[in-house]
Amino acid sequence: MRKAIIFDLDGTLWDATGCSVDIWNKVFDKHEEVSIRMTTEISSSLMGKTMPEIGAVLFPDMTEEARMSIVDDFGDEEVKYLSEHGAVLYDGVEETLSSLERDYDLYIVSNCQDGYVPAFLNAHKMEHHFKDIEMSGRTGMDKGENIKLLMERNDIKKAVYVGDTEGDENAARYAGIPFIWASYGFGKAKQPDKIIGSIKELKKTIRVDV
């Protein structure tokens, strides 16, 4: 049975913060109750969080219904934009995936809204690299639960998770699999099993863990 590599998306395979700032601010302009402006720093700090968590961070004084109305509006606009324009792929992503898929089955699990991972796949013609994907916006579950769900669905017995945040590390621990920290991303990790400073380092690192 082939072994699996499960990827995070933001901060691991691509960087979508550049376009997300503009999209957030356009959405904010449509909602009179919003007084904040999105910045690159704030946007980066939100990476790895689910959409409800993002709403709670940005609009702590609003009702859940009010904050989710804004967050869902953003999610829809972001998916539309990214499906057409894509974002910034980290250097070496295409070559690394092409090399890894010779020996491993590749997957993506992200805490994003429904449609976000397909936008990545479609815009950058990446569908052929991945066997399956899962998103918190589709299942309503957190990343650790979604990793377990994907593994059960695909009968995966041995896998590793690659991500850039402590939340990714916690999710991997919950799912009972090793964690490789993408240190070039947006977050930190406490005790990753391995560290990569570039996606291009993954092929030589992965053989130790999987």
At 203, which CATH number? 3.40.50.1000
Domain that holds residue 205: 3-15+88-209
pLDDT of residue 2: 81
Q: Percent of the chain, pLDDT > 90?
A: 92
pLDDT tens digits, residue range 5-25?
999 999 999 999 889 999 999
Do 137 and 161 have their domain in common? Answer: yes
H or E element at residue 160 = strand 159-163
pLDDT tens digits, residue range 76-135?
999 999 999 999 999 999 999 999 999 999 999 999 999 999 999 999 999 999 999 999
Do 9 and 105 have their domain in common? Answer: yes
Query: Does residue 50 have a pLDDT over 70?
Result: yes
* Residue 152, φ and ψ in degrees, nearest 5: -65, -40
CATH code of residue 74: 1.10.150
Do 98 and 159 have their domain in common? Answer: yes
Domain count, the chain: 2
pLDDT of residue 206: 87
Give the end of a domain, one of 85, 107, 135. 85
